[in-house]
Structure 1
C-alpha cells in the first residue's frame, strides 16, 4: 500500500493487530492496535537474523519523519550495525564517572597539592574523616551550599566547634582547587562563614583533675591511657605524640625530625623517669613504621574525639566515687594537657624560655633575634624541667602536693 498522511489518518482498527507496509520505503510498517493506537516499525536483517525496531507513535511521529528514521536504520543495518541495539545503548543510563567522585578527587588533591605541604597529611586525614565519610561516593558537582552547611553544623552540634571551623577551611581550599582545575564552575562553600567565633582557650587542669585524669588513663588502658599520660608528661602536641615511633626514641631522648613538628624545627624531648615508665608499659603492636600507638599495625591511632569523651567519663566517675557525690568536670581537650604542662612547669619556677624550649615554641622570649642568634637548645635545662614536672605529677597522683618541687638551679 502506498501510504499517505491521509490514509494513515483514516486507517481504522480491527479486532486484530494490523501491520501495513509502506511501498515507498521498504521495511517500514504502520502498526494499528485493536485499541486504535498507531505507530511505526522498521524491519531489517542483522547478522542473518530478521530484526524489528519501533520508531515511535503516530501522530507524534509523522509519515515523513518515520520514513526518514527507517532509512537511517536500514542504512545502519547495511553497514553491519544493529540500530535497535544502538538506540538501546543510547537510552541506557550512563555509569557515573568515578573521576568526579569526592573520594577520588581528594586523593588527587593530596597528590597534587597537599603532599607538598608540611601539614598535608594531617589535612588529608581530616578530609577523609569528615568529608569523604559523608560524601565519598558522591560526584563533586552534586554538592550544594546546603550540603556544606549541614556537614559543618553536624560537626559543631557534636561539640566540636573548632573542628567544624577547621574542616570549613580545609574544604574551602579543596573546592577552590577543584574550581582552578575546571572541575567545578564555582565553589559551593563560597560565602559560608565560620560556624562560630573561636575564643582563645585558657583551660588548665587543676591538681584534682590531673589526679583524676591519670587514674582515668590507667582505667582506659592502651592506646588512649598511655597516650594521654605521655601528652601530660611531655607537653607535646597531640599528633606528635600519637605518631611517635620507636625509631625516634634514642635512649632517654625522643627526637622529633623537622617533618614531624608544626614549626618545621627538629626537636629533642628528654624523657623523664615518669615518661620512660609509661613507654615501658606499652605493649608494642609490630608494624613496619614502628608506631608506638597503633592498633592495626598500619597507621597511628585516630578517633581522638571519642577517646577524649571516654577518658572524661572515666574522670567524672572516679571523681564522683571519691567525693561521694556527682561531680561535673568542665570540658577539656587534649591540647589543654599541653597548656597544663606549661603552667605546671611555670608554677615550679622554671623560666619561661626553658618552658618554650620544652614546647618547641619559636615565639615570645624565644623569637626574633634570640631565635636567630641563640642556638643553645637548653638540653640540660629541658631535662631538669621535665623531670621536675614528672615528679610533680607523680606526687599529685599519689595524693601529695604538686607544688612542693621547686626549681632553684636555673639561671635567672
Structure 2
C-alpha cells in the first residue's frame, strides 16, 4: 500500500520510460521519465483488462485516488464499464452546461450575427454580458421564470436606464425563443413582463416647427460668422433634411452637380445588414439652392474625399458635434434645435404648409423604410419627379421664410 511520502518520493529509473507503484484494488501511480505522476485504476470488464485515469498527482491526492477507485469498482459491480460511465457523465455535464442562459445566448448570437450589422451585433452581446449574464447567465434556461428575469431587469431600471431595461427584455425574448426552438426550454417568460417595467418616456429631438421660427433660424444660419464649411453644412441640413450622419459623410464622388443629384450608397443608410449589402442607394434631388451651396464649397473641399471634412485632420468627415456646436453658437441649445431636428422641421412644415405634396413622397425623401413587400418601392426611380418638385418647393419656401415674407397657411380650415 502506498503512503503520501512514498507518492512524493516516487521516481522513474533512468533506464525506463515509466514506472508503476501499486496501491491496492488495482490502483497504482505511474511515474514517467519526465517526472509527471498519474493515477490509474486497473480492472477487467467484458473479459478484457482496462484502466481508468484518475488524474495527476499531487492535484489528485492518494485519498482522492482511492475514492475514485472505489467509485469505479461500484460501477463495475452494477454492470457498468467505468470508462464508459465517465464518458457518459462528461456528455451529460457538457449538455447541462449548454442549457444555461449564457450558453444559449452565445449560441443564438453566433447563429444570428451574420445577418446583423457589426455595430448592432456588438451592442446586442455587450448588453447581455453587462446586465444579464452576471445575474441569470449561469442558470439553466428552464429554471428562469418571469420573476427571476424581472429581478435582473429591475437592476438595470434602478440605475435609470429604463430604455435599456426594455431593450434587454426584448433581447432576452430572442434568446428564450431560440431556446424553445432548440429544445433547451419550453417557453419564453419575457412576454409575461409586458407592463412590468417603468414606461419609457419618449423624448423627441428638439426642432423648430413654426414658420416664423424657421425663418429666424434660416436668417441666423445665413449670417453665421464661423467656418464657411460649417455654414454650408447647416444650410444643406435644412435644404436636404437627411440624417446628420449622412450629411457629415457626404462625399464628392456621390454628388452629380450637373444632374443635381446626391446618391447615398446603400451601405451608408440606416438599414439592416441585408439592406446595406443588397438595397438600392438613396437618391436625394438637389434644388438649385443646394447646388449653389455645393458649388461655393467645391473650391474649399472639392480636392478631397469629403464634402465636409474634419476641421482638424481633413482625412475624416466632420465631427458629429460640429453642427450641434454651430447651432449653440447661433443661440439654439439642445432644447430648441438639434442637427436631427432639421428632419422634423422639414416633415412638419412641408406636410402642413406646402400644398399638393404626398406624405409618401416626404417619407421616401426622409428614407423612412416601410415594412412589407412594397417597402423598398419608396426608393424607386418613378418617385424622382415628385421628389424634385418637392425639394424645389421646400428650398423656395425656406427662402421666403428667411426673407420674412408673409406665408400663406395651406392647412385646412
TM-score normalised per structure 2: 0.50
Higher RCO (CA 8 Å, separation ≥ 6 residues):
2
TM-score normalised per structure 1: 0.50
